[in-house]
Structure 1
Amino acid sequence: MSKQAVMAMFYNNKGADALLRKDYTSAYAYFREALLIDPNFDSGWINLGIVYRLSGYFNQAEKTYQHALGLNSDSLTASENLAYLYTFTGREEEAEAILAKVEYKRNSNPYYHVNLGEQEMEQEHWDQALGHFRRALALDRSKHEVYFGLARVYFEIGELQQSKRYFKQAKNKAHNRQNEDKYQHKIDFLRNL
């Protein structure tokens, strides 16, 4: 990571702190500084758009979100903020169209389903967690995190053979020794039950 990127992130974080304090003048100054340092820093543009929106400068907010999307067309955060602005300003149809695209992108992302699966596990909703991990697996069979999630759910519901099977697959898909060792320890633990 370049010094320029680190400095831009520093000022962006300072701006986010000011934004949380509702000190929009300071937030603006910090985001502006971040963008002077790194004009391609899409998160800075998104946050600047939030300052504009909260300050009632809706046209500037829209242009800023669109600029962020020009830098990173895959930014779901920029898209969601633009949709929120459209909803807030009475442009519901445009907002709904953007949110439909965001939802489609999220549902096509295995990590989105891994995250949802983990949230369901925290609530001990095992069937829902299993559904999300299975959806993630259907989207991408190469991610060790997906197999790890499946193994954990099966362990929690007492299906130890399935748990061991998925821990083995997680180990096979792991790309570093640390994860391989972590999964091997879990397999060894299950063998000793």
Structure 2
Amino acid sequence: YQIDFDPQPSRRSFPKKLVSKELVVAMFYNNKGADALVKQQFPLAYAYFREAVLSEPLFTSAWINMGILYRMAGYLEDAEKVYLHALQQSPDNLTGLENLAYLYNITGKVESANEIIAKVEHKRAVNPYYHVNLGEQDIEQQNWKLALGHFKKALILNRNMHEGYFGLARVYFEIGELDESERYLKLAKNKALNNHYEEKYQSKLDFLSSL
């Protein structure tokens, strides 16, 4: 079976990877645990997260959620141990790093927290998809100038990502610069990864032509 976890599949293509039955089971229990955690059903959440890591001990997300559970329940030393264990498995996990920084802030280890936050900000600053996401948020808020800046930054980091060109095309369309919108739509189409995106961008080019 092929499963797509992206709620907005039209935005980008993610690489595929094989997962074991044990990992699928761990994902299931991790999701159940997250639901229980939101409802502050701490013993139930613990039971689910425990089953998740027993099924797949290398499933970092479950360990991070276990750390959040410990923090929310007041077991701060245990939370730190679990976060560090998760980051030992996946040192660049930004969610784990952010949660550890938050824990250090509330426990008075401000210097350590600031070091982690700086590391997270650096990693995000050099991630083109992070800037695309920020650009999309700016479009929703009609911050056109900020959106243009984020999409341009994304393309500086990766000239081949069609999402960046499409983002620029969207902004220029919204501010009435249709020639620029058409130009970036053509670039997006040229960089498209598959027929789905090519057809999507061509339909928008046809729409622009009708205007």
- TM-score bracket for the superposition, by shorter chain length: over 0.9
Say which is worse superposed, 66-75 or 25-34, in terms of deviation: 66-75
Aligned to 1:129: 147
Q: Is residue 176 of structure 1 aligned with residue 194 of structure 2?
A: yes
How many angstroms does 1:77 deviate by?
0.3
Question: Root-mean-square deviation (CA), in Å?
Answer: 0.8
Residue identity matched to 2:118: A
CA distance in 1, matches of 2:189, 2:86: 38
CA distance in 1, matches of 2:205, 2:99: 44
**Structure 2 spans left out of the alignment, 5+ residues:** 1-18
Residue identity matched to 1:88: I
How many angstroms does 1:12 deviate by?
0.2
Q: Is residue 116 of structure 1 aligned with residue 139 of structure 2?
A: no
Q: Is residue 107 of structure 1 aligned with residue 125 of structure 2?
A: yes
Aligned to 1:49: 67
Residue identity matched to 1:3: K
1:2-151 superposed matches below 5 A: 2-151=20-169
CA distance in 1, matches of 2:20, 2:179: 47
CA distance in 2, matches of 1:155, 1:78: 38
CA distance in 2, matches of 1:150, 1:71: 37
CA distance in 1, matches of 2:133, 2:60: 23
Q: Matched residue pairs, number?
A: 193
How many angstroms does 1:2 deviate by?
2.3
1:100-133 Cα shifts (integer Å, max 9, x gaps): 1101111111111111111111011111111111
CA distance in 1, matches of 2:176, 2:193: 28
**What TM-score do the two structures reach when normalised by structure 2?**
0.89
Say which is worse superposed, 54-63 or 155-164, in terms of deviation: 54-63
CA distance in 2, matches of 1:188, 1:2: 44
Larger helix fraction of residues: 1
Identity percentage of aligned residues: 63
Residue identity matched to 2:44: S
CA distance in 2, matches of 1:83, 1:11: 26
